[in-house]
Amino acid sequence: MKKILNAIACGSLPKRDIRNANIVNLWGVAWVLSLWLALTSIDNQWLTSTFEIIAVLTINAVIGIAMVFAYKRMLNELDEMERKIQLDALAAAVGSIIIVFAAGSILEKATLINELEVSHVILAMSLTYAVSLIIGRVRYA
């Protein structure tokens, strides 16, 4: 249990890596909030013009791009073992989403489920990535 808690808290990482991870996390939260605000604004018809919608979309995209660059910087500054753990987690997340989305598409086509929600795909990918990180850090600790 101690290994799992240490993996979650990033206890074995250097302070620089923890700082970089926190920067990525802050950009990630900002991106999710901007996405939520954009979707809520459109659903509630708070945005009335195409210009407003494009402006909100642009803000969301800029925040997302900043998050990607922060993540890339973090990966570049990690040691080899943590970089391997991160890349393994990314591979697991992308692979699982491809499989889940394909299965969901088949079920949707067969009318066994309703339309796939993008938010569910993002959530499943995020959870798979987080769990894979924890597993990798426990395995290599």
For the chain, the structural domain boundaries read 1-78, 79-140
pLDDT at 137: 87
**Model pLDDT for residues 117-130, shown as the tens digit of each residue:** 888 888 889 999 99
Give the count of beta carbons closer than 10 Å to the beta carbon of residue 63: 19
**Model pLDDT for residues 105-118, shown as the tens digit of each residue:** 899 999 898 888 88
Average pLDDT over residues 82-97: 94
**Model pLDDT for residues 63-86, shown as the tens digit of each residue:** 999 999 999 999 999 999 999 999
pTM of the predicted structure, to 2 decimals? 0.80
pLDDT at 101: 87
The tokens for 104 are 């969901």
| Residue 123 CB burial class (10 angstroms; 0-12, 13-18, ≥19) | exposed
Average pLDDT over residues 85-114: 91
Complete DSSP assignment for 77-140: HS-HHHHHHHHHHHHHHHHHHHHHHHHHHHHHHTTSS-PPPHHHHHHHHHHHHHHHHHHHHHHH
**Model pLDDT for residues 6-59, shown as the tens digit of each residue:** 666 666 778 898 899 899 999 999 999 999 999 999 999 998 899 999 999 999
